[in-house]
Amino acid sequence: MKKFLSLVLAVLMLTLCFAGCGSSDTIKIGVQTSTTGDIYASGDFGEDAVLRYDNGAAAVEALKVGKVDIVIIDNEPAKSYVAANEGLKILESAYAEEEYAICFQKGSDLKNDVNNALVELINDGSVKKIVDKYISNSGEALVGVPVKAVDTDKPNLVMATNAEFPPYEYIDGDKYYGIDVEVAKIIADKLGYDLVIENVAFDSIIPGVQSGKYSMGMAGMTVTDERLKSVDFSSTYATGIQVVITKDDGGKINAIEDLDPYYVPAE
């Protein structure tokens, strides 16, 4: 009996040892559901490594309490989160670069009108002026769109967004602000529409646009092959950078290169 119990104990200790040793060879990554960070993380590290959250703030909170090792998210929102939370840092090297565009229902006639207006506003410098204003914090007056839509005689251009993504879209008081908000506003003004913004979960934007519930979607949205199966996209109007947020206390991820052991081999 003693020999049997000793054997059982040895097996148990060995099992615990392997479990403990294995934990150092895994990584948990926080992302906002259905964002590009989600797409990159699940593709590069596997589904088991990814923990999805409704917004970036929740992913960052998970990092702070140790539920995840890193958060992969867009650079500008990352700056805001790190500035608001002690003990976090952004790794120096970018994780990936991407282009943002507006999404539309497949075959939508509206896409051509909006895209033509967008291209004109890019060419005359209006879009760059808006982007620079938010990125550089120049102090130039920001233009907001009321959260509660104002009824006018103009037709509505309904934009679906997820207003938890500063500086691209966010709520301050009773208005929406951000790069996407102001770009959409000048497009709507140019085409004779009233811009109406619907704040929804990020992963609800494409299905809503796809079904015709919304005129278009803008939320720092990257063009991907998977998304192109569901919606059409405009010309790109801004460049985004995906970065990694981690703790600054010397954890296991202190540089982009520290992620190398955790990548899932390509099939």
- Which of 98, 50, 85 is closest to 70 using CA atoms? 50
- What are the sequence ranges of the domains in the chain? 2-97+242-262, 102-235
CA distance 206 to 266: 28
Q: Show pLDDT as tens, one digit a residue, over the chain (267 residues).
A: 444 444 434 444 444 343 333 345 799 999 999 898 999 999 999 999 999 999 999 999 999 999 999 999 999 899 999 999 999 999 999 999 989 999 999 999 999 999 999 999 999 999 999 999 998 877 789 999 999 988 888 999 999 999 998 899 999 999 999 999 999 999 999 999 999 999 999 999 999 999 999 999 999 999 999 999 999 999 999 988 999 999 998 688 999 999 999 999 866
Helices then strands, each counted (H, E), the chain: 9, 15
Residue 9, number of CB atoms within 10 A of its CB: 10
Q: Please say whether the structural domain 2-97+242-262 has been given the CATH code 3.40.190.10.
A: yes
Do domains 2-97+242-262 and 102-235 share one topology? The answer is yes
CATH of the domain spanning 102-235: 3.40.190.10
**What is the C-alpha separation between 30 and 69, in angstroms, rounded?**
8
Tell me the pTM. Answer: 0.77
The whole-number pLDDT of residue 251 equals 82
E-strand spans in 25-106?
A: 29-32, 50-53, 70-74, 88-90, 96-100, 103-105
What residues have CB less than 8 Å from 140, skipping those under 6 apart?
133
